[in-house]
Structure 1
Amino acid sequence: MDTKQKRIVILGAGESGAGAAVLAQVKGLDTFVSDQGTIKDKYKALLNQYGIDWEEGGHTEEKILNADEVVKSPGIPCDTPLMLKLKAQGTPVISEIEFAGRYTDAKMICVTGSNGKTTTTSLIYHIFKSAGMNVGLAGNIGQSLALQVATKHYDYYVIELSSFQLDNMYKFRANIAVLMNITPDHLDRYNHCMQNYVDAKFRITQNQTPDDAFIFWNDDPVIRRELARHGLKAHLYPFAAVKEEGVIAYVEDEHVKIDQPIAFNMEQEELALTGTHNLYNSLAAGISANVAGIRKECIRQALSDFKGVPHRLEYVASVRGIRFVNDSKATNVNSCWYALQSMKTPVVLILGGKDKGNDYHEIEDLVRQKCRALVFLGLHNEKLHAFFDPMGLPTAEVQTGMEDAVEAAYRLAEKGDTVLLSPCCASFDLFKSYEDRGDQFKESVRKL
């Protein structure tokens, strides 16, 4: 078939879908976009600007089932009736990242993991940018990779990848792959089978060659167990908090040290980000930059002046001696564990939302040790009550929204405490996104 006549259908017209549509159109493909919901005005304007045919509020099956290939939004589950029809007739379904990767020869630095993805991705991008590299930021943050490939030219892309994006990636190759950790998350999308989720994360290493790098946290028991199963060809760069056999990056004598490929060290107290979880983020970012050949002075400077990521342990304000911290990006239990672990004061914890098959045992000890009180914020808080009520802590039940949750937490807190929004859950029961949830938290705190 002449590629000019190849029909590409894009399902979902958010950031990734609209970007994929522009790239398909620019490359001369017969392009159609279909969204079950309402397309945001900015994406409609983009599609119209490029003369792309689109529909919203439902899928016209005859316009979709005749596709040569479908680019699927990561948010669409694989078991919807339309997806099952496409599968039954053998239509290839790929992700926007897979599609974009065909049209660029830029080097790809890809980051995944249950926690730390956004901070590590942003930190790597900051180091590359500070060093004067021609670099784009894509994936779960920034502009879609496809839109950048269609409209710009970069030598490097730093890409945050979710398991959903990795699910539909087949030939895409990460020159540098970073795997932060693997803890239970999104199990509702993986038939409540942890191994399915683990396999999705390890897809970041597929297609890697001996010229490529695989950077990972050496102390993660799941990653350690899986290494042998995946026949990895890339050069391995394991990191850990302290020096141990096999690791190439660690802390020793209060210095961050990276042994390969080029010896690097800096004082740990110079790192802009504090806490154990951020040490891992800094090590992974430092190795990535080191592997890419960025000068030591540039890495050191960028690791010391990075400003952090919104909604990730973000200090908001202090009101009458009570600190408020926005960790809305903590959409799973392990993220909340890291947040609680970093707290130095008694905590009033706001948690709840759309449960993804969570197991709260992981934070049980930290809640007992650190929490003065709990605020359950969600439409369905029964599971939270069942797990946490037996601890005997004061609790507040809020189903109405963020302002009431912040006021309840404020009433329960004492001078010197921290009110921590670290929800353990997705935001979609009461909010548009974790960003919306965090923004409402900050706004509500400022109204106190």
Structure 2
Amino acid sequence: MLKDKKVIVVGLAKSGVSAIALLHHLGAKITCTDIKDETQLGDLVDEVKPFVASAFYGYHPDDVSSYDLAVISPGIPLDIPFVKNLKNNGIEIIGEVELAYRFSKGQFVGITGTNGKTTTTALTGMIFDLSGKKAFTVGNIGVPVASKALESDERTTFVTELSSFQLETIVDFKAHIAAILNLTPDHLNRHKTMAGYSEAKMRIFENQTAADFLILNFDDLETREMGAHAKGRKLYFSRVNVEIEGAFIESGWIRIRFDGSIVDICEVKDMKIFGSHNEENALAASLICYLAGIDVTTIALGLKTFAGVEHRIEFTAEISGVKYYNDSKGTNPDSTIKAIQAMTAKTYLIAGGYDKKSEFAPMFDVFGDTIKHLILLGATKEILKREALNHGFEQITCVNSMEEAVAFAHKNALSGEVVLLSPACASWDMYDNFEQRGEHFKKCVLELK
């Protein structure tokens, strides 16, 4: 279908490189372009060189009229002039997820939401692995779907974490089981409004039919109401409502009600991950796996053994009685709120980073007696400081680096207290990604020993 077609791949991030490899296998004539120059791209240039017919680094080409298809990396906004030029020339624009979907076999599970996507996807993928089913855990979790497309067969399930950016560029993609975990303000610098952000998230179920399943968070009103637009069968998960059809918590147990039957999955106290947000993640993962035909014993085993994901309330070390947690994946205020609510001791909170035009006020409403001191760094430190003062919180220290932040916390935190990195912001002002930020935090902490 793509043999000898001219395809331009825009962006050489992880998904772009995998898209190029897949396109090469399919016989396409590939051009790649990235606004970064060869020096900035480094080894990526050599990695794709055998596969591409031409390349534009440091700029995008003006003449795009000869291309049959454009594959856009998720980090590239669809309203930039170059993408508008592609649209004006009538070129179909898709993302790497859509490309992989068109050339894969089997079924897809799609998981999206503002927070909890990675944890829920990783937990779901682990349970699939325990079940012996053929499955790939892919998508925004760090493994491009395109890298596994040609390994799939009719028995394959792609357990797929999907960001709003990835969902913007789907066309035919369909998840047999789709889950929307929650919706709070995020990425408004790109989506402009909450309505735009919500519309991107709802694309996860736009191609579903009555034979498919949509799982929604009953406790999140905006997410629950998305079901009004769905064609698939709607089920829910809830921490507080035991009457729903779907997954819920009752008498300390995770339970599932489906087609008139109720089954017990696991006691909440037996799970390794903790916090109300992780209870929601576990409910969603349990329901996904149950609908996929995985037996209750295997689902329970997964819940009891899953220890969480790196950079999400990840225990780093205990030094002089002080526990350090890395929550670098807390890239928006709601995610940080959930991390704060999971803390059970006086906490030094390290926050700040790239400005996504988020609304920080709700974060300070949950400080209560938990947050003892706020350590701020990055592009948003003055914005966060101003908001903290407006809320009457004055225990604030501004620093210029992660080293300074960790050193200050180490000097002042007492035995029995906690130091939590949960920035409430993206990392792009100081780091390439949240993983790099989290690794730097852990390095700084471990050097204290």
The two structures share one fold, judged by TM-score above 0.5: yes
CA separation of 1:438 and 1:276: change in aligned 2, threshold 3 A: same
**Residue 48 of structure 2: aligned partner:** 47
Query: 1:22-421 alignment to 2 at 5 Å?
Result: 22-38=21-37, 40-41=41-42, 43-50=44-51, 53-62=54-63, 64-150=64-150, 155-191=156-192, 193-228=193-228, 230=229, 232-260=230-258, 263-265=262-264, 266-390=266-390, 391-399=392-400, 401-421=401-421
CA distance in 1, matches of 2:331, 2:66: 37
Whether contact under 8 Å (2:247, 2:256) holds in the other structure is yes
CA distance in 2, matches of 1:79, 1:126: 37
CA distance in 1, matches of 2:413, 2:326: 16
Larger CA deviation: 425-434 vs 154-163: 154-163
CA separation of 1:151 and 1:128: change in aligned 2, threshold 3 A: closer
Larger CA deviation: 83-92 vs 94-103: 83-92
Deviations 1:4-40 (CA, angstroms, capped at 9, x unpaired): 3321111001111111111111112222111111464
CA separation of 1:250 and 1:392: change in aligned 2, threshold 3 A: closer
Whether contact under 8 Å (1:348, 1:412) holds in the other structure is no
CA distance in 1, matches of 2:301, 2:66: 53
SS at match of 2:216: strand
Larger CA deviation: 232-241 vs 79-88: 79-88
CA separation of 1:287 and 1:253: change in aligned 2, threshold 3 A: same
CA distance in 2, matches of 1:239, 1:121: 16
Deviations 1:142-180 (CA, angstroms, capped at 9, x unpaired): 321112114565711111100000011121101110100
Larger CA deviation: 402-411 vs 174-183: 402-411
Shift of 1:363: 1.5
SS at match of 2:184: coil
Shift of 1:41: 4.9
Whether contact under 8 Å (2:245, 2:256) holds in the other structure is no
Whether contact under 8 Å (1:218, 1:247) holds in the other structure is no
CA distance in 2, matches of 1:161, 1:200: 11
Larger CA deviation: 19-28 vs 236-245: 236-245
Whether contact under 8 Å (1:67, 1:91) holds in the other structure is yes
Aligned residues: CA RMSD: 1.8
CA separation of 1:51 and 1:32: change in aligned 2, threshold 3 A: closer
Shift of 1:3: 4.5
Mark the runs of 5 or more structure 1 residues left unpaired by the alignment. Answer: none
Shift of 1:65: 4.1
Residue 307 of structure 2 aligns with an amino acid whose one-letter code is K
Whether contact under 8 Å (1:208, 1:233) holds in the other structure is yes
CA distance in 2, matches of 1:326, 1:65: 47
**Structure 1 stretches (4+) deviating beyond 3 angstroms?**
38-46, 48-55, 150-154
CA distance in 2, matches of 1:374, 1:312: 19
